[in-house]
Structure 1
Amino acid sequence: MERTELYRRYRPQNFSEIVGNEATIKSLKKELENGSHTFLMTGPAGCGKTTLARIMAKEVGAGDLSIHEINSAENRGIDTAREVMEQMRYNPSDGKAIVWIFDECHQWLAPVQNAFLKALEDTPQHVYFFLCTTDPQKLIAPLKTRCSIINVKPLTNDEMTYLLKRTARAEKIKIGNEVYERICEIAQGGSRKGLKLLAKVIYLDSDEERLEVLKAGEDNETAESLELCRALCKKTGLKALLGLLKNVDTSDPEKVRQGVMGYMNSCLLKGVVTNEIVATLQAFSSADTYRNGKVALTVAIVDRCDMIEE
């Protein structure tokens, strides 16, 4: 297995393997006991919402063939809702239940959210819905009221350190506390990011090398984002800006958008006011990264250039 797959290799398979979120798990179990069949799992990216939903799917007795995991960013049309409502009428092909897990469900279009209201309210006894989102504010109120809301929190530093050490022990690798502390600082409670960072350095020969790689990675990410922001403040053309965007880590496009807006706002507060800065702030303020992902960043840059030309 690839070394970069640590977060998949050590993904929890049951409640006892989950680190942190004890109160959340207790609440989830209680809701199940109370007969809940529809759950809205909220929390930042990489904190374990989907993993928890997969474990719950097994807990309610769904077999592998009866667990349907759907990427809402790619399936946000009305046909998705119609297909689910058709399938939920049938009995599970294996196991005792049918489960649908919707990742990033806030990307559903409004008609889709409305179409799911009846399914979430009149859910058959053998059907369970787990809706996962990083941005519940994008969901309509009637949809949220039909769900048991489960808030999944980022890990504390102590919890993250325990997770990292447990993984390193399983790989039979000894790592110093300073490395764990650095990963905790960068990961900011995201278990997936923490394990990805660990995978990046775990097989290096020394802690000195590990710290150098972690620092270089963080510095590169910061440098590339700053370079884009500085270029946006100047009379930089569209082609050059898109070239700089390619160098930026856009795995979390909302983070990039917020970073650009923060930089422009800082410039304005310092008294640096140019057409380029104002246009950039306006364009990125309107960018909907939750709905359109990375494409929204490209569109924002195009809009910024169009505003300046006008």
Structure 2
Amino acid sequence: MTEEKDLETAIGFKVIFKKEVSDKILWLTQNYEKEISGWLTGEMKGSYVYVDNILFPHQEVGGASVDTDGKNLIDLRKEYGDECLRIIGHWHSHNTMSAYWSSTDDDFMKIYVQPRDFGLFVVSAVDEPFRIKLIFMKPLMFSFDNVPYTTFFTNDTLAKELESMIKEKIVEVKFMQTEKSEEAINNSGNNLFNIEREVSKRVFINKKNNILYVRDLTPEMMDLFDNFINKIVKKKNMSEINYQNGTKTLVISCKNKRNSRILRDDAREILTRFFEEQDDVMNSIMEGENVDTGNQAYLDENYNYNNQREASGYPVWDHP
């Protein structure tokens, strides 16, 4: 990774987004809760890659995946015509995760660049800069990650256009229980999703600056965090980002790597217990039992988080 970054800096590659394109990417990343993708059009001149348009195919989206089949690509050509001949790369969002390349992304990039001279790939996530990779196939194969770029702030006037596009082209895949999925649910404590994976997507650290992000917090989750976060984190080190759907992201600046990791583990533990309690509640409701949904252990005014940590053998918090 370091060698690639040094090489790209020396060569001086840079990606320049037309304002309308970066606005659309930012708006969709921040306002559409699932992953979504688009094809990037433009050209390369010298060491600069110019991105001037983004084409949205019809696509099926899950919680953390996007699928565009052959028919949808044919429909894309019908809709956009020869503009498809100017495609130079691909963008997708990691709405509930950080901006990184998954193994699925790596496989897709390898397939895309095989018949081409080069490919541009962009992944975006809330509260993070774009992550950009350039792959060249001629004269030899070279890959440059974390390529610098120029971007712009989002434009609210795009909201109606993009909301209309989502309604027209995006199909959200619903969970359907089959024999295999039923077996998987039974083997995972009757959870309809993997709690550990869900929690790790919501709580992560930017290792470059020790900033902790706790994302997609509902009001119920915020009640849990307010009870201990405010006691161990100075207000000047914490901020909140509010979204139209009523959720929040906590952004916490930690003074060192150790504290950021301790707080990350604490946050993940709280969310894990929250999801486990919700799962128990749902199971109890299904069985017709009366249940308490108050998460009282966390909401009790006398609950002392440092005492709880000390009793568990963990270091007592100073502050991030």
Q: Which has the higher strand share?
A: 2
Greater relative contact order structure (CA < 8 Å, 6+ sep): 1
Q: Which has the higher helix share?
A: 1
Return the TM-score normalized by structure 1: 0.30
Return the TM-score normalized by structure 2: 0.29
